[in-house]
Amino acid sequence: MNQVKHYTSMLAGTFIIALSFTLLQGPNQIASGGLTGASLVLSSIFNAPSAIILWITTLFLLVVCCYFLGVHSILKSVIGSLLIPFFVYLTNDLPPLTNDPLLASICGGLGVGAGLGLVFRAGGNTGGFTLIAQILHKIKNVKHSTSIMYMDAAVMIAGGIIFSPEKALYALAGAFVTRKTMDIIQGKNTKSNIVYVISSENFEKRIANWVLHKLGRGLTKVSGAGGYSGSERVIMMIVLEQSKVKDLRSAVQEIDPHAFIILCEATEVFGEGFTPFFPVPEGKKALSSSPALNIQHLKT
């Protein structure tokens, strides 16, 4: 039943994204980032249908990622990567819903955000720039969010050059609406999450390695003992975004089915990878200088 819900959400989400592109963003030249926005710019440069450009770039990216990341690393991306160009191709001949670029940017942003939210809630992704970000992270250790931000900005700037500066501003507004809608669908807010993973020493290294190398997050380990059994237990504290909680939960359950996972909400997190520390006035020591508080430096 869970698999049916998973694939239903994937199909619905990618179809909504494709419809938003073909009925709103594409006809009004709103390149709000992502591979669909890039295909819109490239289609204007090469005078080719955006659906064909999207197919070519998607297949090329999948081949390149297989080479750099391996087939198993991109399996979750294949379905979303292929469904979007497929649905764009199917709906390419439908008439646009509006010729007003402002309406197209807002409503298109709502549609793309809702579609992405459904896909991410199902534990999938749509490939595209996410795949490029994974390659850059492996080769140059660039943060995923940083590389995606720069690529989206490059698409919007290119759209402003190819189409008009006004269209770039509409694209920026659409990207903002997309982000907010996606957060609402995912049930995500601006707060970070603290996850406590309680596992046995047998699985400690495997879970820690996954968090450090696959999730790209730091963690703090605390030794403990079961109150009933008295057996040694390891408590791992991880601070991360809401969007990554599902991946962490799935990985921990796969590695240690008997592990306990406790999720808490953090109002604010200061440090590398999160909100920078406020400047400390001269003559005053930062709280982190205390050995009792400086348990471990969190990093991405």
Q: How many CB atoms are closer than 10 A to CB 223? A: 10
Mean per-residue pLDDT, 65-90 = 85
Q: d(Cα 43, Cα 22) in Å, to the nearest integer?
A: 13
At residue 277, the pLDDT reads 52
Sheet holding 192-199, edge to edge: 220-225, 232-240, 192-199, 260-266
SS3 of 195, please?
strand
Encoding tokens for residue 10? Answer: 């994937």
SS3 247: helix
| 177-209 residue pLDDT tens | 998 898 788 765 556 788 899 988 889 889 999
What CATH number should be reported for the domain whose range is 192-289?
3.30.70.120
Q: Would you say 162 and 41 are in contact if contact means Cβ atoms under 8 Å apart?
A: yes
d(CA 43, CA 140): 30
Q: How far apart are CA 20 and CA 39, in angstroms?
A: 14
- pLDDT-derived band at 171 (thresholds 50, 70, 90) equals very high
Which percentage of the chain shows pLDDT scores above 90?
39
**Arithmetic mean of pLDDT over the chain:** 83
pLDDT one-digit tens code per residue, 83-137: 999 999 999 999 999 999 999 999 999 999 999 988 888 777 888 888 888 888 8
Rounded CA separation 250/129 (Å) = 23
Q: What angle do CA 126, 132, 137 make, to 5 degrees?
A: 120
d(CA 8, CA 2): 10
Give Cα separations from 102 to 28, 135, 249, 258 (angstroms). Answer: 9, 35, 40, 52
Q: Name the residue ranges covered by the structural domains of the chain.
A: 2-186, 192-289
Q: Could you tell me how far CA 290 lies from the centroid of its own chain?
A: 35
The pLDDT value recorded for residue 125 is 80
39-44: long-range contacts, CB 8 A cutoff, minimum separation 24? 40/159, 41/155, 41/158, 41/159, 41/162, 44/162, 44/163
Q: Is 218 within 8 Å of 298 (Cβ atoms)?
A: yes
What pTM value is reported for the model?
0.66
Residue 156 has pLDDT above 90, yes or no: yes
